[in-house]
């Protein structure tokens, strides 16, 4: 990645991001993401956090998302912030199911 490209992408070091993509109903969460050029395309690459899915099947795996597919994303300051938010979301889902 050249210096001009680096100036155009956010520095998400140490953060957790939750990404929404074009034509995808679920989000993708990444710990400590970075930007990489792969096969001529920009990707955001990070590690799948613990608790990112109900079965946790991909926790700890490297994941890459094509940046041109991203529609929006949330930034969490830390894994602890992310975990707290996902816990609140799960509690809200349980409350809605009981109503």
7-58 tens-digit pLDDT: 688 999 999 999 999 998 889 999 999 999 999 999 999 999 988 887 889 9
- Cα separation, 99 vs 95, in Å, equals 6
- DSSP at 44: E
**Is 16 within 8 Å of 78 (Cβ atoms)?**
yes
- Cα separation, 5 vs 53, in Å, equals 32
Selected residue with higher pLDDT from 66 and 90: 66
Selected residue with higher pLDDT from 2 and 51: 51
- Domain layout of the chain by residue ranges: 3-98
**Is residue 98 predicted with pLDDT exceeding 70?**
no
**Global pTM exceeds 0.85:** no
- Cα separation, 95 vs 33, in Å, equals 32
* CATH T-level assignment (fold) for domain 3-98: SH3 type barrels. (2.30.30)
């Amino acid at each position: 990645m050249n210096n001009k490209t680096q100036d155009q992408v956010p520095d998400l070091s140490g953060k957790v991001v939750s990404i929404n993509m074009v034509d995808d109903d679920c989000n993708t969460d990444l710990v400590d993401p970075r930007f990489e050029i792969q096969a001529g395309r920009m990707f955001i690459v990070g590690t799948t956090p613990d608790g990112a899915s109900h079965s946790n099947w991909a926790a700890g795996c490297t994941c890459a998302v094509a940046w041109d597919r991203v529609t929006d994303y949330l930034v969490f300051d830390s894994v602890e912030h992310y975990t707290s938010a996902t816990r609140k979301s799960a509690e809200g889902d349980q409350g809605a199911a009981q109503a």
